Structure 1
């Protein structure tokens, strides 16, 4: 807590059990400072706690609580710990002075007092305190500014990612809820793995939050796929599938271009770039676009692969029914060591009920399904009855 420096004159609390000493000190100080007085150590602690003064002049020898104990209590209290304490005493032993500094005093003035020395010491410590308060205030202000800027940057990141993801959503037959579900799946799976020896070096709080933000961009490259292929409800031909596979590199290139425009090739979009590029890779090397296998596939993309496949399985589409959660879990388990990282599958199986809860929280509605049907119809594809 800041001391009472709001008035033009600093406030000095004088503490002494002898009335004549109090009167003398008040006479010496009143022309320069606002003066408060206390006639005991306990009263000094109470008064200073209620309204911290600018500085305390504290006698050592008092009957109920000596100055050392009063100073110790003042320094232990967050409300008064920063108020400078100067001992005024007739005790001249080196041990007494040492003890005074040990309990937190900033200075030690011997009685009988020299008014000139006392005023010089008071002025010095008030100046030091003023400088310290200024630096603390400046530090607090800068910390607030840093936090404000970080919040602004975070909002900009969120808006940038969701704007890009929404662009892809307008052309895809998957819903916005798919984006929300997959980002929550990714975050929860990453959290389940953060203490695993294989992943603990990478999956810290900051990384997991960036993965959560980046997940909605996994299919951003689909904006570059022709509608006749992207929206085709039936099975793609071999040639069409080769075109569809390019959405991974198109997504990577789009994000890399955005990073280059910002001049930050290792920006917050790094994980989005990895996910877009590699989320179709498979643990055994049979995926695309580069045929990576095992740990060569980025952790971010391996997390996304589990999340994306699970959501594809449990989601209803005009060309397929929604598989039950239990069947989807079984199918993910069957992909352990072939499609998916084995340790990630083990973590998924342990928290599968939480995936189900996420899917229910962000479930597609009949309106979402109707939008999908309308999007297909608008592009010349009649509605079809899903086959089990």
Structure 2
């Protein structure tokens, strides 16, 4: 990983460069804030270690300019300073600093601060990769619009409401909710393996075509399971796999691909099922109008105990005002209103 060091003191900069190089980083050195800003625009440095007090542009102004960028990946900023007052730290945080190292710095402390910064940057990169993969799958079905963004918000609401449920309170914590929010966009990743003539067919699918479409759960589940076996410590991949494989299972055991029932269906799959169906019902397609919230709610309630986990439906009812707000804020724009041939009355919205 490339690291940018900004320090107008050549001796301090040399020591920093040596320590960071020994830690395995590729170091770019700048002699003040202006120089750092120019070099940051030319290199792919994800962590900046900057002195607070420098000529031309100090560390605070460099932080502000970095945070004002509207392109590129997140840059983690560590300020080096001899200022230890709480008001100084607040000033640095407001400018956009992520962490501080006191001068003269201790090599062991700097190593820990760098580890934290690298971990945060890696998490941001992971999130971006996951969402990019999901958008890639979504791009094969141009009608899905803002589906991924809405569904992850619905999942978050359901998770938060379920966290207070007597059955699931011990299972759902902030990490579980974050994992679901992060990985829910991968629920249909298996659609990359479905032929276009089936995936993009505007009208009713034949029995054989429907069986083919159902394979997207298996394709997605097996793909993510292979990734999990290669990286067994990546807990988010387990959640992603379970969501992709089980979000079309039904609570009564009549779903697919494995006919799982009740709590044999992973909780993340049961949550995803409600979020996915709600969005399908309330979103306009070329073959159907968007269903108003109250009608979608009636369908979800009718499926309580058969298609859906009753506890998840309870969570939906508790959070329905948030569902409405999310839907209104993230309404798809510019969707086609002209039905394609054979698109009218297609049932695929609930069964794909």
Asked if Structure 1 and Structure 2 have the same fold, meaning a TM-score greater than 0.5 normalized by the shorter chain, the answer is yes
2:118 match: 149
**Partner SS for 2:319:** helix
The yes-or-no answer on 1:309 pairing with 2:277 is yes
Kept in 2: contact 1:321–1:387 (CA 8 A):
no
Q: Give CA-to-partner distance per residue, 1:208-241, whole Å, 9 cap, x none.
A: 1111010100001011111111111222111111
The yes-or-no answer on 1:270 pairing with 2:249 is no
1:285 match: 253
**Partner SS for 2:146:** helix
1:387 CA displacement:
8.3
**Partner SS for 2:326:** helix
Change (3 A) 1:385 1:278: closer
How far apart are the structure 1 equivalents of 2:299 and 2:246? 21
- Consecutive unaligned residues of structure 1, counting only runs of 5 or more, are 1-77, 80-132
How far apart are the structure 1 equivalents of 2:346 and 2:176? 40
How far apart are the structure 1 equivalents of 2:171 and 2:322? 23
How far apart are the structure 1 equivalents of 2:145 and 2:185? 9
How far apart are the structure 2 equivalents of 1:383 and 1:282? 28
1:333 match: 301
1:362 match: 330
Q: Give CA-to-partner distance per residue, 1:13-44, whole Å, 9 cap, x none.
A: xxxxxxxxxxxxxxxxxxxxxxxxxxxxxxxx
Change (3 A) 1:203 1:138: farther
Aligned match for 1:247, one of 194, 216, 232: 216
Structure with greater Cα Rg: 1
2:193 match: 224
1:352 match: 320
1:139 CA displacement:
6.1
How far apart are the structure 1 equivalents of 2:176 and 2:262? 21
**Partner SS for 1:258:** helix
**Partner SS for 1:232:** coil
1:383 CA displacement:
8.0
* Superposed CA RMSD: 2.6
1:267 CA displacement:
3.6
The two structures have a TM-score, normalised by structure 1, of: 0.59
1:384 CA displacement:
4.8
- Consecutive unaligned residues of structure 2, counting only runs of 5 or more, are 1-83, 86-101, 348-352
How far apart are the structure 1 equivalents of 2:240 and 2:199? 21
